[in-house]
């Protein structure tokens, strides 16, 4: 058995359940991204934001802890998921998880030029000032929802 997967079974039950949710959502989102035209993806994930205030992770210790747990579960699940476009799948899955918890977020899509002048695309997710999927680089944001 893969060492990463074995480690999951040694986690506390709450972390294992959160990992299972993140892994399941990433599998579903990965399949959606493959079968649904990309232009429809934002519509599937943007209309589900909970009405209310934009939460700021620095305002609330419980909220910050929840964001940390969702981020950790998302990264763990992403390390064992088979998708190539991990940043997009992780961002969409984490957003889905946050929506279930009534926490607002912003998913951004951007591009940057690589060392060989190739265009690189990236997706990242924030809730307030807290990054759940990191921007990681000098990406120019083209779209957010």
**What's the pLDDT tens digit per position in 58-102?**
558 899 999 999 999 999 999 888 877 789 999 999 999 999 999
pTM assigned to the model:
0.84
Q: Which residues fall within 8 angstroms of residue 90, CB to CB, at 6 or more apart?
A: 26, 74, 75, 77, 78, 123, 125, 133
* pLDDT for 57 beyond 50: no
Please, are residues 78 and 89 in contact by the beta-carbon 8 Å criterion?
A: yes
Q: Which residues fall within 8 angstroms of residue 109, CB to CB, at 6 or more apart?
A: 88, 121, 122, 123, 141, 142, 143, 144
* pLDDT for 6 beyond 70: no
> Which of 89, 104, 122, 96 is CA-nearest to residue 50?
104
Please, are residues 58 and 128 in contact by the beta-carbon 8 Å criterion?
A: yes
Vertex 34, ends 33 and 35: CA angle to 5°? 100
126, containing H or E segment: strand 119-127
* pLDDT for 56 beyond 70: no
């Amino acid at each position: 058995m893969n060492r990463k997967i074995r480690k999951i079974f040694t986690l506390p039950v709450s972390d294992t359940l959160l990992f299972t949710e993140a892994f399941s959502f990433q599998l579903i989102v990965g399949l959606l991204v493959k079968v649904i035209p990309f232009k429809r993806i934002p519509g599937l994930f943007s209309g589900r934001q909970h009405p209310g205030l934009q939460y700021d992770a620095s305002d609330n210790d419980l909220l910050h802890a929840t964001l940390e747990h969702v981020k950790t579960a998302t990264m763990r699940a992403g390390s064992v998921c088979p998708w190539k476009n991990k940043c997009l799948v992780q961002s969409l899955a984490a957003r889905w998880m946050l929506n279930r918890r009534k926490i607002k977020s912003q998913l951004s899509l951007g591009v940057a030029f690589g060392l060989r002048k190739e265009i690189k695309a990236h997706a990242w997710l924030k809730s307030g000032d807290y990054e759940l999927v990191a921007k990681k680089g000098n990406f120019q944001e083209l779209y957010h929802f």
